[in-house]
Structure formats: C-alpha cells, structure tokens
Amino acid sequence: MWYHESMQRTQISLEPEQAERLRRLAAERGVSMAHLIREAVDAAYGADAPHSREARWARALSAVGCASSGLGDVSVNHDAYLDEIYGS
C-alpha cells in the first residue's frame, strides 16, 4: 500500500536493531516498513488488542451469565433461596 490521502504521516525514531529487523521482515514479506508498523500499532493498540476498551467490554459481556443460576427471580427471592440451601 502506498501513501494514501487519508493517512497521516508521522516520524518515529527506532533503535538501529529495530530498524534492521523491520527492513529484513519487510523485504521477506514484500511490504513496506510503514505497513509493518501500522500492523504492530493495530495489534498493540487497535480495537482487538487485549487491553483495548472494546476488548475489555467484550470480555465483560461474555462473563455475564456464566455463573447464572437460571432463575429469573433471584434478586427478589434471594432470602428464600438461601433458606432453601442452608435451611435456617
């Protein structure tokens, strides 16, 4: 992908070893260093990154109901259910 109008140009500083690794990998994959950097930014900070807001929200939603009793009235009748379980 060549520079597209909607992209924002930026300048970064890399350690020589980092730049060399990027050059080698870019050549192996037949892509630009900029392409690899964009992929890395997406992986680390994009919507699918483990610590992103979207990913945290998805994990929270997936946990909802995982400990569900299957009963729809627990919030109203919790004392009766506890009495049933523990037999006061």
Closest C-alpha to 31, from 41, 19, 39: 39
For the segment 56-71, the average pLDDT, to the nearest whole number, is 73
Tell me: the pLDDT tens digits for 13-26? 999 999 999 999 99
For the segment 65-80, the average pLDDT, to the nearest whole number, is 77
Residue ranges covered by each domain of the chain? 12-65
pLDDT of 1 over the 60 cut: no
Q: What is the pLDDT of residue 67?
A: 65
Q: What is the pLDDT of residue 30?
A: 96
Specify the length of the chain in residues: 88
CA distance from start to end of the chain:
70
pLDDT of 83 over the 90 cut: no
- CA distance linking residue 42 with residue 8, whole number of Å: 15
Residue 10's H or E segment, with its range, is none
Q: What is the pLDDT of residue 72?
A: 80
- CA distance linking residue 11 with residue 34, whole number of Å: 10
